[in-house]
Amino acid sequence: GYYHKTTMPFIVYDKTKQGYAGSTRFGQIDWKNKVLHIGWTWIGKEFQGSGLNKHMKFLMLQYAFEVL
């Protein structure tokens, strides 16, 4: 998991509502073959349907391709 650098968890904070919305992560990271999975997402009920998931997945893809 985390200590073997095969997962990278994120806390999701919604600036608009000023609250913690949930969590998501990169998982099954294979650094040698440059492969990872995006998912394991939990979003609180009050944040569901707000477009937050779409936005955070875009940011995760951007981070994966441009930084990692």
CATH of the domain at 47: 3.40.630.30
Our count of domains for the chain comes to 1
- Average pLDDT over the chain, rounded to an integer: 92
CA distances in angstroms from 26 to 10, 16, 46, 52, 56, listed in the order given: 8, 24, 24, 17, 12
pLDDT > 90 fraction of the chain, expressed in percent and rounded:
84
Answer whether residue 2 shows pLDDT above 70: no
Domain span at 30: 2-66
Distance between CA atoms of residues 36 and 45, nearest Å: 27
Over residues 34-60, the mean pLDDT reads 94
Answer whether residue 1 shows pLDDT above 80: no
Q: Is 51 left (phi over 0), alpha (psi -120 to 50) or beta?
A: left
pTM of this prediction? 0.82
